Amino acid sequence: MNLVSRFYKQVDRFQDRTFLGYKSDGEWKTLSWQQTADQVSTLSHYLTQYGVGKDDRVLILSENRPEWAVSDLAIMSVGAYVVPAYTAHTVDDLRHILSLTSPKFAIVSSQELADRVLEANISHECVTHMIVIDQGEHDKPDWHTEILPWPEVQQGVNRPDLSVIDTDDVCTLIFTSGTGGHPKAAMLTHKNIIHNVEAAARVLDTIPVNEEDRFLSFLPLAHAYEHTAGLHMPITQGAEIFYCESTDKLAQYLGEVSPTVATAVPRLYDMLYARIKSGVDRASGFRKGLFYKALAIGTKKLNDEKLSLLEAILDPLLDKLVRKKLRDRFGGKIKYFVSGGAPLNPEIGNFFAALGIGIIQGYGQTEASPLITVNRPGNIRMSTVGLPLDCELKLADDGELLVRGDNVMKGYWQNESATAVTIIDGWLHTGDLAEIDEEGFVSIVGRSKDLIVTSGGDNVAPAKLEAKLTLEEEVDQAVVLGDAKPWLSAIIVPSEVLQKATDSDDELEKIISKAVKRVNQELNGTERIRKFIVQRELFSIENGYVTPTQKIKRSKVIEDNQAAIDRLYGK
């Protein structure tokens, strides 16, 4: 089977049950499985009419919304490749995507995004037709592209002929994060994603997750993680998907949608943790005491420690007074958050778990469709990324994690040299340094290319230190450096609350210095931060220091701060 035939199989099963939910004009609206299928069939026919066929590429540039899922399925149904892009992409980013993949058709959500594609297309003239879902006025010429409306559902349109699709066919070209340069396009097949989804489904079945459940999709669907875990996994489970078009609506939509499952990256939990801790610390002594007592008892239960008689009596009361209120902030029905995209700080994971908010941490890469490992409900070790997800793992001599299985991509689109050094003898070289314990649990130590080697020959993985720094409430972001240097330093972005409450740079540095000293007490000598640079501006997508997948571009941060770094080391 392929991904589209699996979708239509669920349509026949669920028909008029709710499948997709979205907010329009201030109200929540829904599409049934059958209504969605009618849109997929119509769009598939539409694409064929405009010459889109097997092995063609089609760009999707849109916020999370039902049309994204419909487009994904319709493009695949004619044998074409989905090329997802981020709404945060600039014209230059889009030029790179168009140059590499040459899509002949594009589907975009707004006129603003359409204008970016049109400008990027000047150099390539590959996009001949473009659907603009929400069309608006614009003063730019269409150049070489015919603008089309989103097609109205046509009655009597047959389902697409899926016999043209083989399970080994490429279905999507998903771009890597690009932290070290231009992103590469991973060729993922129907087989890759189906294998990944079915392995994950076996994990979810233990919760269980099925047609009674509801996913909230808010990570960009252009990300391999959300494309698999937030779209094709719910399809496999027969669950509902409700869309959040931007992260600033997340808190509101959690309460309105009451999801049972949501996927997120660690950055979200970092922000929620900081917000909750800040609120509690400002609360009255009694409320603050209740919260930390609930946290302490929950932590003991997580560690399988015996509760005292008083704690056993207080526990159900604290569940109502503290934990239930926290769960209600997330809609009241959440079974688990699924964390991926980067390592989750175990202290933050245990914080939420102790307060009754379950987090299943996994690990993956775009090149692996993307899931590689995951913790299992009932057997969660928050300091690890879990057990292999139906694939083989081994460590190279230098500790790099290697992966082999049906989830591994075909290769990078039009980049044989990069493919050759990434997939060797069937093993995907992840570039991540890892440890595997006796029971098979995997811990990610850091990126091999980010590994700091001091002038004294000590190897230090900066990710661990950065996670500890950002756990301090005074610190929002941190980049640790010190390659070929005698000691480590850091570039630190203080929290917004601290910056607003501090009048001078000297005072700000003194407060950050105290936070760094607290962290250093938990580290060995080679890991300690000797000096630091305070940067007030947050690293973000807008200023070019963060990728659309919320990863800090370490090399760019270091490059742009090189003069200050040199002064730090006395150059």
Compute the average pLDDT of residues 446-466: 84
Segment 44-54 mean pLDDT: 97
Instruction: State the CATH architecture for 33-165.
Output: 3-Layer(aba) Sandwich (3.40)
* Domain spans, the chain: 33-165, 266-419+428-448, 451-568
**What pLDDT sits at residue 27?**
96
Q: Residue 187 pLDDT more than 90? A: yes
- Contact 226/203 with Cβ under 8 angstroms? no
In this prediction, residue 9 carries a pLDDT of: 97
User: How do beta strands 529-534 and 488-494 pair?
Assistant: parallel
Q: N- to C-terminal Cα distance for the chain?
A: 62
Find tokens 């309105």 and name the residue.
256
Q: What is the pLDDT of residue 141?
A: 65
CA 55 to CA 47: how far, in whole Å? 13
- pLDDT, residue 144, reads 79
Return mean pLDDT, the chain. Answer: 92
What's the rounded Cα separation, in Å, for the pair 286 and 294? 12
CA 507 to chain centre: 36
pLDDT digits (tens, 9 = 90+) for 56-83: 999 999 999 999 999 999 999 999 999 9
Is residue 471 helix, strand or coil?
A: helix
| Residue whose tokens read 């493009």 | 75
Architecture of domain 451-568: 2-Layer Sandwich (3.30)
Of the given ranges (160-169, 504-513, 551-560), which has the lowest mean pLDDT?
551-560
* Domain 266-419+428-448 and domain 451-568 have a common topology: no
Q: Can the peptide bond before residue 370 be classed as cis, meaning omega within 30 degrees of 0?
A: yes
Q: Where are the alpha helices (DSSP H) in 190-321?
A: 190-204, 224-227, 233-237, 250-257, 266-282, 285-302, 309-318
Could you give the percent of the chain with pLDDT greater than 70? 98
Note the pLDDT tens digit of each residue in 499-531: 998 889 999 999 999 999 999 999 888 899 999
Using CA atoms, how far apart are residues 477 and 539, in angstroms rounded to an integer? Answer: 8
Which spans in 455-561 are helix H? 462-471, 496-501, 505-520, 554-560
User: Over the stretch 316-332, which tens digit does the pLDDT of each residue have?
Assistant: 999 999 999 999 989 99
Q: What is the pLDDT of residues 396-454, one digit of tens each?
A: 998 999 999 999 999 999 999 999 999 999 999 999 999 999 999 999 888 888 888 88
- Whether the predicted pLDDT of 180 surpasses 70: no
φ/ψ bin of 102: left (φ > 0), alpha (ψ from -120 to 50), beta (otherwise): left
How are the residues of the chain apportioned to helix, strand and coil, as percentages rounded to the nearest 5?
40, 25, 35
The pLDDT confidence band at residue 1, using thresholds 50, 70 and 90, is confident
User: DSSP labels for 101-148?
Assistant: H--SEEEEEEHHHHHHHHHHHTTT----EEEEEE-----S--TT-EEE
Give the pLDDT mean for 111-117: 94
Residue-level pLDDT at 296: 96
**pLDDT value, residue 140:** 66
What's the confidence (pLDDT) of residue 101? 97
DSSP secondary structure of 28-66: EEEEEHHHHHHHHHHHHHHHHHTT--TT-EEEEE--SSH
Nearest to 220 by CA among 84, 424, 355, 47: 84
The pLDDT, as a whole number, for residue 113 is 96
User: What is the predicted pLDDT for the residue at 378?
Assistant: 85
Rg (the chain; Cα; Å) = 24
Q: How many residues does the chain have?
A: 571
pLDDT surpassing 80 at residue 178: no
- Identify the pLDDT of residue 537: 93
Q: Which of 2, 10, 12 is nearest to 77 (CA)?
A: 2
Euclidean distance between CA atoms 3 and 76, whole angstroms: 8
pLDDT number for residue 258: 96
Given this model, what pLDDT does residue 47 score? 98
For residue 329, give both structure tokens.
Answer: 């902030």
**Looking at residues 461-468, what average pLDDT do you find?**
88
Residue with the bigger pLDDT between 179 and 397: it is 397
Report how far Cα 181 is from the mean position of its chain's Cα atoms. Answer: 19
Reported as a pLDDT band with limits 50, 70 and 90, residue 340 is confident
Tell me: pLDDT of 142 over 70: no
Asked if pLDDT for residue 571 goes beyond 80, the answer is no
Which residues, in sequence order, are CB contacts of 78 under 8 Å at separation 6+? 44, 47, 48, 52, 53, 54, 56, 160, 164
Q: Which residue in the block uniquely carries the two structure tokens 């609506």?
A: 249
CA dihedral 416→420→426→427, nearest 10 degrees, is -130
Secondary structure letter of residue 248 according to DSSP: G
Identify how many contiguous H helices and E strands the chain contains and give both numbers: 20, 27
CATH, domain range 266-419+428-448 = 2.30.38.10
Instruction: Tell me the pTM.
Output: 0.87
